[in-house]
Amino acid sequence: MADKVRIRMTVNGLEQRGEVEPRMLLVHYLRETLGLTGTHIGCDTSQCGACVVHVDGQAVKSCTLFAVQADGSSVTTIEGLVKDGQYHPVQEGFWEKHGLQCGFCTPGMIMAAADLLNKNSNPTDAEIRHALEGNLCRCTGYQNIVLAVQYAAAKMRGEPVTGAAD
Amino acid sequence: MAEVTKMIGKAIKRREDPRLIQGRGNYVDDIKLPGMTYAAVVRSPYAHAKIKGIDVSRALAHPGVLAVYVGEDMLDINPLPAAWQAGGVKNVAVTPRALAVGKVTHVGDGVALVIAEDRYTARDAVDLVEVEYEPLPAVVDARKATEPGAPLVHEAAANNICMEWECGDAARTSAAIASAEVVVKEEIINQRLIPTPMETRGSLARYDVATGEFTVWMTSQAPHVMRLLLTAFVFGIPETRLRCIAPNVGGGFGQKIFCYADMAFTMWASRKLGRPVKYIEDRSENYKTSTHGRDHVTEVELAGTRDGKVTGLRVKTWANLGGYFSTIAAGIPTTLYGRILTGVYKIPAAHCKVWGTYTNTALVDAYRGAGRPEASYLIERMMDRFAAEIGMDPAEVRRRNYIQPQDFPYDNGLGLLTYDSGNYEPALNKALQMVDYQNFRHEQAEARKQGRYLGLGLSSYVEICGVAPSAWIGAAGQGWGAGLFESANVRVHLTGKVVVTTGSLPHGQGVETTFAQILADELGVPYEDVTIEWGDTLAAPFGYGTYGSRSLAVGGMAMHRSAQKIKEKAKIIAAHMLEAAPEDMVFENGRAFVKGSPDKAKTLAEIALQASLAYSLPQGTEPFLDETTYYDPPNCTFPFGTHIAIVEVDPATGKVDLKRYVGVDDVGNIINPLIVEGQLHGGIAQGVAQALYEHGFYDDEGQLLSGTMLEYAIPTAAMLPWYELEHTVTPSPVNPMGVKGAGEAGTIGSAQAVMNAVIDALSHLGVKHMQMPATPERVWRTIQSSKQAAD
Ligand code: FES
Ligand code: FES
């Protein structure tokens, strides 16, 4: 076992310092060391995207990065997405459009979708589907996820949106 | 002044969601207990081998490793139980042990267990365990396994046959086939699928040394059943010594119904070590060792007349059960498959024979739809084959054979309960209208002239929901080893808040929302005042859990019944408060009053307060509003519908473009349209995936070639279509809510719609059938060989 390495990063706005094994994956650091269990693990081959977080503003599969590689960076997880008690528009879209069932893929899906909308404020359906190709959902068949992202995009552009009946 | 229904039928967003969209769910792997240890499993790289020796010494010496166990250490517990054997016939049910003893029967079979202080150390030590194997020849195909000379998976099961089962009328069917004007024959393979819930499976067991009691947090669709099986069958301890908790469950699709080795070995190791033990499988382990679905090889003959009447259906199916018998494995290809093979059609003579066989592959058990997708794929593929053979439009052939509305309740002669209600033609007509059927046929003809291959596929399906009356499923003929009722307790607390505990076990179905909608209307209380609790055997009355699309039609009905009992008691107490006679009381919209005097009413909250304070109750009335129901349904429910897929096949590459997907489903009355649509979307996605992408594929040595998400083609967002859905509504007469169920309909209706479309697109080349999945390579090869045949 290699010696532990000191790391330091900002996670959801709080500074975190610690010592980790060099081989520790970022996802395990977040989940097990920091207790941020909203970031999930759905595979062992970097396919599923359940583990997506933002590192310095970019969507990253946290199972594909060692914690030491995120040293010095600023990480946002699903737990850090609510601002001033308000849902991020993507979170709101997933709720309004029934974009989730079991919820296991949802944190990664939301983080990936938020990243897309940072780069493209008015994506087409095809662009949304393409951007989410690294995120697998087994429950929804994706249609409501696309609708959820459209809802969020419209909302972020300041356009009127329609939600569920309630 | 009867107020109209407020919540039922409304597309309200789910109350489950706020915690899940914020990453505040609580899945098994999120739970951390003081002193918790981590388990990892040494797994067989061979499909079939004798275990000659296991050397654990290096692993044991590794820092951080607490213990290493092998199968022989756990002989003080029994093998896992076989809860559903094929009914009425002998089953040679060889079930797995917590760890293999003496030999392994499939790749991934567990041979040793490492317990360590942390996850990484446990995995490191797995590589330090040395196992000596003597490889044996393997067999992976369900039919080949029965051939003379095939490697024997279990000594006890001659010719690898676990059970041989049949239903229907063999003599009549033979006669119908012998005398038929037309007979179409086919060999149809329903390929093996891997369910792939996005959360893998796992268990966290804690043994309390002081009390001798276990608690297990598990990824389970049926914690009460697991409690029963693990205590009464595996450990031989009183049921009360085990508490099972299913927290948030990240999808199941059947795979999380069953009793698994890890439940047993985490319990066993926790008792041994006096510390909690957590085991979470990784995705590759999920693919190699949690259950798979489908995997049938079938020989089928369908007989009919030249004017499109089907007169007979004969089916022989070899159903792959894998390396051992999984919990309810034999019930799936028998009761849930053979007995519904004639689908939506009136077929006067049918017979089905099934061999359940052992092979050197992962265990096969229920996967979404469980038996019914295999049945509807078979009949719908054959209806198209028949239509092509007699040169009749496939929609017309279906129409000529549908069971008619006046035929219900309908007995199909295959030993199923009677179909409750149905009206199949309107769903077909609506679907045809949505795709502008006649116009499509013109378009298709025009496209062919330009060398473009368009195809349209029809699927009319019926399925079995709300399983099942205990008196039927538990009888000798069906072989289910228990009942299948469901429970619900409803309590109205002193403050007027309503709490429901249900034996159902939601894992994405939105049961908290749907159930609260129903109860709010039934009791006339605000939706927000109703809380639905589930998932803990300590809190909820015994229930069978969630599978077979039974939450609403069985679990929901148990709650509905409890609500009626609450209202009856509320009327008695209100009568006392109003100094009236109980028999003069009515309960409406949350208020009890004397018939004709609605202005002098007591609200449910007032009555609940009276019932809870209990200082003035009518003679003989117990305090509190608290009612429990164990609801056993009088019948299953039978949702149905017609799905249509339109595809374009690229002649150069064989790639299938699914251009449109239309579904008209009839799931009875709908409580929450948003949730029903979501269930159908997800169901259809899994059927489309079977038709086009997925295959749990073993090579002849028994190596799983689709053993990770890299090779097993779970569709992404870009690989699936928009779903254009409509409904017809034929309420079920089986329950007063008129509901049927929607969890599996999408999967049961979809694979054949897509395959029929692909084959239709190639029909002008003489293609009559193709096996799933219709990957570009397979489609391209089919095109090439049909061209060669034409030359
Ligand atoms: S856990 Fe699947 S991509 Fe990271
Ligand atoms: S909601 Fe279950 S996997 Fe996406």
Q: pLDDT tens across A28-64, in order?
A: 999 999 999 999 999 999 999 999 999 999 999 999 9
Say whether B198 and A163 touch across the interface (CB within 8 A).
no
The answer on B492 and B446 residing in a single domain is no
Q: Kindly state the average pLDDT of the residues B48-69.
A: 98
Sequence-distant (≥ 6) Cβ neighbours of residue B147 within 8 angstroms: none
Three-class SS state of B185: strand
The answer on B524 and B437 residing in a single domain is no
The answer on B611 and B534 residing in a single domain is yes
Partners of B709 on chain A (C-beta within 8 Å) are: 43, 45, 47-48, 136
Dihedral (C-alpha) B94, B225, B275, B32: value to the nearest 10 degrees? 120
What does the pLDDT look like over B424-481, one tens digit per residue? 999 999 999 999 999 999 999 999 999 999 999 999 999 998 888 888 888 767 888 7
Q: Does a cis peptide bond (omega within 30 degrees of 0) precede residue B773?
A: yes
Within-domain flag for B290 = no
Say whether B17 and A28 touch across the interface (CB within 8 A).
no
Within-domain flag for B268 = no
Dihedral (C-alpha) B510, B513, B519, B524: value to the nearest 10 degrees? -160
pLDDT of amino acid B4: 40
Q: How many domains does chain B have?
A: 2
The answer on B606 and B564 residing in a single domain is yes
Domain that holds residue B576: 17-22+485-631
Q: Which of residues 57-116 of A touch B (CB under 8 A)?
A: 77-79, 81-82, 87, 91, 94-96, 98, 100-107, 110
Within-domain flag for B68 = no
Cα(A50) to ligand 2 centroid in Å equals 9
Mean pLDDT value across chain B: 95
Q: Chain B: residue nearest A103 by CA?
A: B20
What does the pLDDT look like over A1-33, one tens digit per residue? 578 999 999 999 999 999 999 999 999 999 999
pLDDT of amino acid B485: 85
pLDDT of amino acid A166: 53
What does the pLDDT look like over B247-305, one tens digit per residue? 999 999 999 999 999 999 999 999 999 999 999 999 999 999 999 999 999 999 999 99
What is the rounded CA–CA span in Å between residue B77 and residue B436? 62
Within-domain flag for B189 = no
Say whether A48 and B508 touch across the interface (CB within 8 A).
no
The answer on B749 and B654 residing in a single domain is yes
Closest CA of chain A from B739, distance in Å: 21
Q: Kindly state the average pLDDT of the residues B216-223.
A: 94
What does the pLDDT look like over B188-204, one tens digit per residue? 999 999 999 999 999 99
A&B contacts, CB < 8 Å: 195
Say whether B251 and A139 touch across the interface (CB within 8 A).
yes
The answer on B646 and B536 residing in a single domain is no
What is the rounded CA–CA span in Å between residue B8 and residue B175? 51
Q: Kindly state the average pLDDT of the residues B769-773.
A: 98
Instruction: Give the residue from B580, B611, B631 where a domain finishes.
Output: B631
pLDDT of amino acid B1: 33
The domain that contains B686 carries what CATH number? Answer: 3.30.365.10
Within-domain flag for B338 = no
Helix (H), strand (E), coil (C) string for B486-508: EEEEEEECCCCCEEEEECCCCCC
Within-domain flag for B184 = no
Measuring CA to CA, which residue among A93, A7, A94, A112 is closest to residue A50?
A: A112
Pocket of ligand 2 (CB under 6 A): A 100-106, 137-140; B 198, 251, 508
The answer on B647 and B584 residing in a single domain is no
pLDDT band at B412 (very low <50, low <70, confident <90, very high): very high
The answer on B689 and B596 residing in a single domain is no
What does the pLDDT look like over B688-718, one tens digit per residue? 999 999 999 999 999 999 999 999 999 999 9
What does the pLDDT look like over B526-583, one tens digit per residue? 999 999 988 888 877 777 777 766 778 888 899 999 999 999 999 999 999 999 999 9
What does the pLDDT look like over A100-120, one tens digit per residue? 999 999 999 999 999 999 999
pLDDT band at B3 (very low <50, low <70, confident <90, very high): very low
Instruction: Give the residue from B561, B596, B631 where a domain finishes.
Output: B631
Say whether A45 and B13 touch across the interface (CB within 8 A).
no
Q: Kindly state the average pLDDT of the residues B215-220.
A: 96
Residue A99, number of CB atoms within 10 A of its CB: 31
pLDDT band at B172 (very low <50, low <70, confident <90, very high): very high
Q: What beta strand segments (E) does B323-442 contain?
A: 350-358
Lowest-confidence segment of B34-48, B166-180, B733-747 by average pLDDT: B733-747
What is the rounded CA–CA span in Å between residue B758 and residue B145? 31
Within-domain flag for B107 = no
What does the pLDDT look like over B635-663, one tens digit per residue? 999 999 999 999 999 999 999 999 999 99
Measuring CA to CA, which residue among B294, B233, B308, B307 is closest to residue B81?
A: B233
Indicate which ligand has the atom closest to the C-alpha of B27.
2
Domains of chain A plus CATH, in order, are: 5-79 (3.10.20.30), 89-156 (1.10.150.120)
Which of A48, A105, A111, A132 has most ligand 2 atoms within 8 Å of CB, for mutation?
A: A105
Q: Write out the H or E segment, with its range, that includes residue B593.
A: strand B591-594
The answer on B762 and B660 residing in a single domain is yes
Indicate which ligand has the atom closest to the C-alpha of B717.
2
Residue B778 in contact with residue B771, Cβ under 8 Å? yes
Closest CA of chain A from B12, distance in Å: 5
The answer on B617 and B646 residing in a single domain is no
The answer on B560 and B425 residing in a single domain is no
Say whether A101 and B682 touch across the interface (CB within 8 A).
yes
B312: tokens are 């007979």
Instruction: Give the residue from B631, B648, B675 where a domain finishes.
Output: B631
Cα(A31) to ligand 1 centroid in Å equals 13
What is the rounded CA–CA span in Å between residue B567 and residue B224? 28
The answer on B667 and B533 residing in a single domain is no
What does the pLDDT look like over B603-625, one tens digit per residue? 999 999 999 999 999 999 999 99
**Atom of ligand 2 at shortest distance to CA of A109?**
4
Within-domain flag for B286 = no
Q: Is A103 left (phi over 0), alpha (psi -120 to 50) or beta?
A: left
